[in-house]
Amino acid sequence: MKKKILVTLLLAATASAAFAGPIEEQIRFRQSAYSYLSWNTAKIKKQVVDSPETFNKDYVAAAANAIAAVANSGLGELYGPGTDQGTGWKPTRLKAEFFQKKDEVTTVANNFNVAANELAKVAATGDKAAIKDAFGKVTESCKACHDLARIKE
């Protein structure tokens, strides 16, 4: 029975890694997703933090929806074994310890998903103060992940 479970787990892990693609592809997709996330985060920051006089509800809502889409896209599949080494568009900055901190990583990822979804919901209302608060929670969740899993440049 234990042997069947082990074989099943190994097949599932292999299938998941095969679906996500080779290490370099996982890193490229991951880097692309985070670049897109960063671009949309910058749009919101400009309109609710840096230059609130430029606020456009529709533009902010679209950026918030893009952030939520990235958060809900299944990014975890792009963190296969070995993706702490290698190059996508540039060398990965994933700390090797990432794979030993599964519980912490799960908590940080879940916090990001919750914050991103809440931001999208709040952005649809157009309430600038509420958007700014929700946006702060998203950026806090981003920082928590960077602190936990990203090699500083």
d(CA 63, CA 141) in angstroms, rounded, equals 17
**Number of domains comprising the chain:** 1
* 141 Cβ neighbours under 8 A, 6+ residues apart: 108, 111, 112, 115, 116
Whether residue 36 contacts residue 96, with contact meaning beta carbons closer than 8 Å, is answered with: no
Residue 17 lies inside a defined structural domain of this protein: no
Q: Residue 19: its pLDDT value, please? A: 56
Residue 144 lies inside a defined structural domain of this protein: yes
Q: What is the CATH number of the domain that holds 76?
A: 1.20.120.10
The secondary structure of 54-113 as a DSSP string is G--HHHHHHHHHHHHHHHTS-GGGG--TTTTSSBSSSB--B-GGGGG-HHHHHHHHHHHH
Could you list the residue range(s) of the whole structural domain that residue 71 is in? Answer: 2-9+33-149
Residue 14 lies inside a defined structural domain of this protein: no
Q: Residue 114: its pLDDT value, please? A: 98
Residue 104 lies inside a defined structural domain of this protein: yes
* 70 Cβ neighbours under 8 A, 6+ residues apart: 33, 34, 36, 37, 40, 116
Burial annotation 64-90 (CB, 10 A radius, 16+ → b, else e): bbbbbebbeeebeebbbeebbebebee
Residue 20 lies inside a defined structural domain of this protein: no
Residue 76 lies inside a defined structural domain of this protein: yes
Residue 116 lies inside a defined structural domain of this protein: yes
Closest CA to 75 of 10, 135, 153, 145: 145
Residue 25 lies inside a defined structural domain of this protein: no
Q: Residue 121: its pLDDT value, please? A: 98
Q: How many CA atoms lie within 13 A of 116 on its CB side?
A: 23
Low-confidence stretches of the chain (pLDDT beneath 50): 2, 5-18
